[in-house]
A and B are shown apart, each in its own frame.
Chain A
Amino acid sequence: MKPAELAEGLAHGVERGAEEGPRSEARPKRHRVLVALNGEDAAAASAAIAMGRLVARTLHEPLHGIFVSKAKVVAAELPKLLGLPTHALDGVVLDVEVGEPGERIVAFTEAHPTAFVIVGAAIDPHGVLGVGDLAAHTIERSHAPVIVVRPEERLSLARILVPLDGTPSTASVLEPAGDLARRAGASLDLVLVGEAQHGPHVEPGAMGAPQYVDQPHHEWPAFSAEFVHRFAKTIGHCPADVPTRFFLGAGDPADEILRFADLLAADLTVLVWHGLRSEEHGAVFERVLRKATCPVLVLRCCP
């Protein structure tokens, strides 16, 4: 299946019947794609639903939508509450809950195997993480992978950008990105980024750019191949049939991630987040999230 076909919705979607049959412990569990529906921002909700459809079709997994409000509402009222046409929610299994949105979304992911949580970003330059409260709270609390999508972004899954800092602990979370790429028929672009001026990593197995480039035409291909092998294949368990390219970022990590996302026309940027915003890595994470011009997949790492 071509990524473009996925984007345009031409491919056949999930066979719904398989999800609806009688449950059995012997049956493999389905991993749901969950869209967080934001009642305060129709554009964000609409973007999340569109991305959700794309991801669910790609994974052949069911698409769920969760709406959380302070008072109980009826599912049938959701299109109206979200400011969307009725057909906008076709094919989405709806779950309406009462409570605090971030908390309920996390509860859902803990109760049901969830491949991805997809949330629309609100225009909120001054808020936490710059993506609006719902997206920010979801990112901060969810241990399931979260995709943040902005309303104006084009949706496709042909090229996935994966910035890495060269440490095995960070790369170890790559598996979902590799699996998504394989299922989408997408290519992976790995970008090694790091503060250009600091000492070498102390983590065993870490890689930085080669200290010695005796002959660039030999060293760079060899280094690239080793990096891809070490991080994508060996540690990240990315499937061997996913086309993978390697690039080296040479400046400020956030700037380089944004530059490569633009240069390589990335459809999705994968960010690994340690869960902290105070330290260096968190600052890079926050800047990219604020300024990204394509959807961002956030993977939690290294608690």
Chain B
Amino acid sequence: MTSTAAAEIQEPAPDRSSGFVTTSPLPELDHLFRLFVLSWELDGTSAQTPASMRALGLVGALLDRGARVALVTDTSLGALLPAIEASIAVEPRKRLYAAADGGEHMFGFDHRGRPIEIVPTADHGDALSFMMRELVKPLGIEPEDVLVVGEGPGLSGLADILEQQLALEAQMGPFAPPRDPSWVIVESGFDVAREHEIESLLTIANGYLGVRGSLAEGSSVSRPATFLAGAFELSSDVSPVPELVIAPDWGRLRFTVEGEAFGVETTAMERHHRTLDMRRGLLLREGLGTGPGGHATRIRTAHVASLANRHALLEAVEITPQNFSGTVVIDAVLSGDVKSGSGSSHWAGFEPRHGLVGPILVGKTHGGLELALASRTTAADPGSLEMRCEREVGPVSAMEQCRLHVRLGESSVLHRVVGMFTSRDGTAPVHRAELLEREAAATSFDVLLEAHVAAWQARWKQSDVEIVGMPRIERALRFALYHLIATVQPHDPRCSIGARALSGEAYRGHVFWDTEIFMVPFYVHTWPEAARTLLLYRHLTIDGARRKAKKLGYEGALYAWESADTGDETTPEFVRSPLGEIMPILSGFEEHHISADVAHAIWAYAQSTGDERILREEGAEILIETARFWVSRGAIQADGRFHIDRVIGPDEYHESVDDNAFTNWMARQNLRYAVTIARGVGSAKAAALGVTPDEISRWETIAARMYLGEDPRTGLLEQHKGFFDLEYVDVAAFSPRTVPIDVLLGRERTRKSQVVKQADVVQLLALLWDEFSPDVRRENFLYYEPRTAHGSSLSPGIHALVAARLGLLATATRYLEQTASIDLGNNMGNAAGGVHAAGLGSLWQAVAFGVAGLRAAPDDPETLIVEPTLLPGMRRVSLPMQVRGRSLQVHALPGAVEVHVVEGTAPLGVTVFGAGGARHTVRAEPGRAYAARRDEKGFLAWEEVEP
């Protein structure tokens, strides 16, 4: 092979003996490649010649920037390895592949930078086939993003190409899309039908606010929205409910090129890509298009909701005329012309102003929330740009209109900083927004951007999960973690997380059990202070829970099934189904397990972090008040057992049932936690709340007498009383289906059948794993899994978790893939109203608690149990984990597990199970690493290894 080529790459035919298959004569080298397949011929010379070392150094630099590189060489790996080790650091080496001995052996590199053989390959062609299977297909890498370089250019010529790539990336600055395909979500072109879901997926957020990834200049279908976390106004529904405040549109940019509007519907777009850079928290866009007058222009933008300063919003714009010199006008608008999906305008009025450094838009909602937005647009390099900006204010908007003289082939770059404050942040939001602008004016844009990127890097260091061998799952998990990190406000307990995070209007920003059961575990183990803040939201809203309990005739605290700012119930009572029926909604009246879910989350958080303070104060109050609720909620009946009647469990297909197993078991845990706390660290709080020893004894008695629905003969838990007598329906026989199964069967038949909407008993297994024997876990999963229709996005991830723990590899893989596809799959518009935040959290749990098999030892919170189960195709799963003040790095490998205590001040117990269930526990010291190898009977004892 003698040419370089990109695009139109085809998988070689099986009988091909050698050579890459390429169909384009010469590639366009003026964009950034993501995958490099490089012929590495040494011509009998050493791999450590200056030419080879130079080229390898450049390979290392590209790997460092996220590129994937495959070296194809006729030599052995041994001949190449010293040069690789000398030129490429351990971390980037993980993205390197080597097809050695003419492609006979394919190697990757592990987390320690050591080569590991992956699959034997026959020739160069198969090396390319391997890369197709390994990365190109799973990640949907575009052919134009793959560069194949053959022998022709030689190592010197190759080095020139690589150097050119690095120079191009440096030149693009912040507009350069990441090379690593596992860190990006790319949407190419423009599809009116999919635009709403694309806007959801590409949301940028920082916990204070969330901004849908709408086109800056808008389109006929754009639905831009900036959500203010924790701020609610009434909707315009027939029965108004609180909904997240839609802030004024701050990110609107209108481009006029030589008098013609530039946009996807008015400009013939030759190239249009939107890229969510998850590693840096940037939304990037590149559009190359020609207007009706023939003016070809390339516009690149970057949008940022700063994670370093949550009140700062950044935009960068680069304009490059391709065939003209002339005038481009950019309108940078702050617009109060916004409405919610319900049709509500949350804003009572606006007062646009000319501020000291730029336009200001001040607004006040009907509920009295005051908001100030200040904007300032500047040239990145004022000396090189002919630009004049004027300010304009309208009735509900304020904007800067900047007129640029652009020159053929030259890029003009503008920066915009927008400050946003509300009266929730303290007094004088206008003053604070202006102050932010003044401070930003004294700081370079690059510095603001670097601070944001550094904040994201810090979060990823605590969170990122590597899944080698399953890149599609790895990217889906990064997408999940990106949204979970972006959506939490770690310092403001007035904010919890709504069902669709800060990415869409569906579910109105209402908070469900989704947060505590599906999302909080991620924060507990990667960002404990954020987890604590989320739990304090439940303390802040406990009076609402008390009101709800009282209203329904109970004691204590019953949390709202749907909670907003006050904690009062916001679940509507009726809905018109698309079948035309009026359906009563009973969740707000009967789905009471949420109180136990909150209690469980508090307990699990405290156990995993060692945070006793919360158990002394806020947590104690929650545990006690929820325990009081459960006492009042049920009764000891004739059989001497405590029964809880007329509830809805997680399986919402069955309403008004008695003794839902999930509810009863979780209520029992709630009571047990309350007993422990009231007699222990929370005794002072208990006394302050009027708890007496008799009351504690009562909790203890009820917990001991709780009806649990166990069948001692089979080990099965009856999901609710009478469930076993319902009609069996073979759910699999209704698959695939285009409508949910309850629609297909009808409500009445569904109610009378054993069809389960979502993990219910299986959810219980996941949460209270050590309460059940191995046989009970397995039998219940095998019984309920075929009966579960997964009509909720909360379900498949939990099934993946439990299946992985049970060693049901194919089942676990299927559910893991299903969970990964909830938002990123061809989801028929499911994500148009926002991403499924609980599903995202469940994906992390499936990998961390299921595949990696991590959980606290039931008898010792200072010990972490590690029982990894790698699924087929996985070669390594690595993840960070915070446990009781220690930071760990866990590597699950095919024949071993490694644990490195990265930070901490005291040892932590780490346990694996060996032959016959024997426990091997090591007191893992901070700064040290340990490995346990596995044979066919189980893990062997821990050995200390090099960190």
Q: Mark B206-233, 1 if CB is under 8 A from A, else 0.
A: 0000000000000011000000000000
Name the A residues within 8 Å of B220 (CB-CB): 234
Does A108 have its Cβ within 8 Å of any Cβ on chain B? no
| A/B interface sample: 7 pairs, CB < 8 A | A196-B738, A196-B744, A211-B740, A216-B583, A222-B833, A226-B829, A230-B192
B13 partner residues in chain A, CB cutoff 8 A:
none
Residue among B508, B562, B828 making CB contact with A206, cutoff 8 Å: B828
* Smallest CB gap from A248: residue in B: B578
Q: Which residues of B contact A225 (CB under 8 A)?
A: 341
Contact B507 A215 (CB under 8 A): yes
Among A112-120, A197-205, A285-293, which stretch is in contact with chain B?
A197-205
Chain B: residues with CB nearer than 8 A to chain A? 191-194, 196, 220-221, 341, 499, 505-508, 510, 512, 562, 571-572, 574-580, 583, 585, 587, 734-740, 742-744, 746, 790-794, 822, 826-830, 832-833, 836, 838-839
Bound CA–CA A198/B735 (angstroms):
7
Docked-complex contact A248 and B743, CB < 8 angstroms: yes
In the docked arrangement, what's the CA distance between A235 and B791, Å? 28
User: Are A195 and B738 touching (Cβ within 8 A)?
Assistant: yes
Known contacts: A196-B744, A250-B743. The answer to whether A213 contacts B196 by CB under 8 A is no
Shortest CB distance A255–B (Å): 14
In the complex, the answer to whether B579 meets A248 with C-beta atoms within 8 Å is: yes
- Shortest 6 CB-CB contacts between residues of A and residues of B: A205-B193, A248-B578, A217-B575, A212-B793, A222-B506, A209-B739
Chain A proximity of B50: nearest CB distance (Å): 50
Residue in A204, A219, A220, A224 whose CB lies within 8 Å of B193: A204
- Chain A residue with Cβ nearest B826: A200
CB distance from A110 to the nearest CB of B (A): 31
> Quick one: closest B residue to A250, CB to CB?
B743
Q: Which residue of B lies closest to A225 (CB)?
A: B341
User: Could you tell me which A residues sit within 8 Å of B by CB distance?
Assistant: 166, 168, 192, 194-202, 204-227, 229-230, 234-235, 246-248, 250-251, 263
Smallest CB gap from B736: residue in A: A199
Q: Quick check: B571 and A217 within 8 Å, CB to CB?
A: yes
* Closest chain A residue to B793, Cβ basis: A212
CA distance in complex: A195, B583 (Å): 24
Whether the pair A211, B828 counts as a contact (CB closer than 8 A) is yes
Q: In the complex, what's the smallest C-beta–C-beta distance from B826 to chain A, in angstroms?
A: 6
Chain B residues with CB under 8 Å of A222's CB are 341, 505-507, 832-833
Q: Are B736 and A198 in contact (CB under 8 A)?
A: yes
- In-complex Cβ contact of B734 among A197, A199, A214, A219 (8 A): A197
- With contacts A196-B739, A226-B196 known, is A212 near B830, CB below 8 A? yes
Inter-subunit contact A214/B792 (CB<8 Å): yes
Smallest beta-carbon distance A202→chain B, Å: 8
Do A216 and B792 contact each other (CB < 8 Å), given the known contacts A197-B734, A209-B743, A222-B506?
no
A83→B734 CA distance, assembly (Å) = 54
B528 CB, nearest partner CB in chain A, Å: 27
Q: In the complex, A166 Cα to B827 Cα: how many Å? A: 13
Q: How far is the CB of B752 from chain A (nearest CB, A)?
A: 17
Residue of A whose beta carbon sits closest to that of B342: A221
Which of the listed residues B571, B735, B826 has the most CB atoms from chain A within 10 Å of its own CB?
A: B826
- Closest chain-A Cβ to B739's Cβ sits at a distance in Å of 4
Report A-chain residues with C-beta under 8 Å of the C-beta of B507. Answer: 214-215, 218, 222
Tell me which residues across on chain A come within 8 A of B827, comparing CB atoms: 211
A202, B580: Cα distance in complex, Å: 28
Min CB distance B292 to A, Å, is 21
CB <8 Å contact, B792 and A213: yes
Q: A212 to B794, alpha carbons, bound, how many Å?
A: 9
Inter-chain CA distance A268–B790, complex, in Å, is 37
C-alpha spacing A211/B791, complex, angstroms? 7
Shortest CB–CB separation between residue A222 and chain B, in angstroms? 4
Closest residue of chain B to A221, judged by CB? Answer: B575
User: B193 contacts A250, CB within 8 Å?
Assistant: no
Neighbour of B194 across the interface among A194, A204, A223, A247, CB < 8 A: A204
- B193–A247 contact, CB under 8 A? no
Assembled-state Cα–Cα distance A248/B839 (Å)? 25
Question: Is there contact, CB below 8 Å, between A205 and B194?
Answer: yes
**B94 to nearest A CB, angstroms?**
34
Q: Of A168, A202, A215, A247, which one neighbours B579 at CB under 8 angstroms?
A: A247
Specify which chain B residues have a CB less than 8 angstroms from the CB of A197 in the assembled complex.
734-738, 744
Are B738 and A210 touching (Cβ within 8 A)? no
List 12 other contacts, CB 8 Å, given A208-B738, A235-B193: A192-B578, A200-B736, A209-B578, A209-B738, A209-B743, A214-B499, A214-B836, A218-B507, A222-B341, A222-B506, A223-B829, A248-B577
B828 touching A218, Cβ below 8 Å? no
Contact A230 B193 (CB under 8 A): yes
Nearest Cβ distance between residue B789 and chain A, in whole angstroms? 10
- The residue of chain A having its C-beta at the shortest distance from the C-beta of B794 within the complex is A214
* Given A168-B193, A222-B832, A216-B738 contact (CB < 8 Å): no
> Complex: how many Å from CA A214 to CA B746?
17
Contact A227 B829 (CB under 8 A): yes
Complex Cα–Cα for A223 and B577 (A): 11
Partner of A235, one of B192, B734, B790, B830: B192
| Contact between A218 and B193, CB atoms less than 8 A apart | no
Smallest Cβ distance from B857 to chain A, in angstroms? 33
**In the assembled complex, which residues on chain A have CB atoms less than 8 Å from the CB atom of B510?**
218
Give the residues in chain B near A235, CB-CB below 8 Å.
192-193
Q: Is there an interface contact between A210 and B194, defined as CB atoms closer than 8 Å?
A: no
Q: Which residues of B contact A166 (CB under 8 A)?
A: 738, 828
Does B829 contact A250, Cβ atoms closer than 8 Å? Answer: no
Q: Which residues of B are found within 8 Å of A211, using beta-carbon distances?
A: 740, 827-828, 830
B580 and A247: CB pair below 8 A?
yes
Residues of B within 8 A of A198 (CB): 736-738
The answer for the CA separation of A166 and B830 in the assembled complex, in Å, is 13
* Contact, CB under 8 Å: A213 / B791: yes
A207 to B827, CA, bound (A): 8
Q: From B744, which residue of chain A is reached at the shortest CB distance?
A: A196
Residue of B nearest to A165 (CB): B738
Contact of A224 among B578, B585, B794, B838 (CB under 8 A): B578
Question: Judging by beta carbons under 8 Å apart, are B829 and A230 in contact?
Answer: yes
Question: What's the least CB distance linking B285 to chain A, in Å?
Answer: 20
Contact B579 A208 (CB under 8 A): no
**Residues of A contacting B836 in the complex (Cβ-Cβ under 8 angstroms):** 212, 214
- Among A198, A223, A235, the one with the most B-chain Cβ atoms within 10 Å of its Cβ is A223
CB distance from A175 to the nearest CB of B (A): 14
What's the minimum C-beta distance from A155 to chain B, rounded to whole angstroms? 25
Q: Do the beta carbons of B739 and A248 come within 8 Å of each other? A: yes
- Smallest distance from the beta carbon of A209 to chain B beta carbons, Å? 4
CB-CB under 8 A from B792, the residues of chain A are 212-214
Nearest A residue to B514 by beta-carbon distance?
A214
Residue of A nearest to B740 (CB): A213
Find chain A residues with CB under 8 A from B505 CB: 222
Given the complex of chains A and B, what is the CA–CA distance between A192 and B579 in angstroms?
10
* Contact partners of B833 in chain A: CB under 8 A: 222, 226
CB within 8 Å for A250 and B575 given contacts A212-B793, A226-B196:
no
Question: Whole-angstrom distance between the alpha carbons of A216 and B579 in the complex?
Answer: 12
Chain B CB count within 10 A is highest, among A196, A217, A225, A229, for: A217
Across-interface contacts of A224 in B (CB, < 8 A): 578
Identify the closest chain B residue to A264 (Cβ): B580
Residues in A whose Cβ lies below 8 Å from that of B571? 217
Known: A209-B743, A222-B506, A248-B579. A229 touches B221 (CB 8 A): yes
Please indicate the chain A residues that have their CB under 8 angstroms from the CB of B508 in the complex.
218
Decide yes or no: A201 and B828 within 8 Å by CB, A209-B739, A224-B578 being known contacts: yes
Chain A residues whose CB sits within 8 angstroms of the CB of B838 once the complex forms: 214
Contacts of B793 in A (CB 8 A): 212, 214
A201 contacts which chain B residues (CB < 8 A)?
828
CB closest residue in chain A, given B833: A222
Selected contact of B744 from candidates A199, A234, A250, CB within 8 Å:
A250
Give the distance to chain A from B630, nearest Cβ to Cβ, in Å. Answer: 24
Distance in Å: Cβ of B243 to nearest Cβ of chain A:
11
Which residues in B have their C-beta under 8 angstroms from that of A217?
571-572, 574-575, 583, 585
Chain A residues lying within 8 Å of B221, measured Cβ to Cβ, are: 229, 234
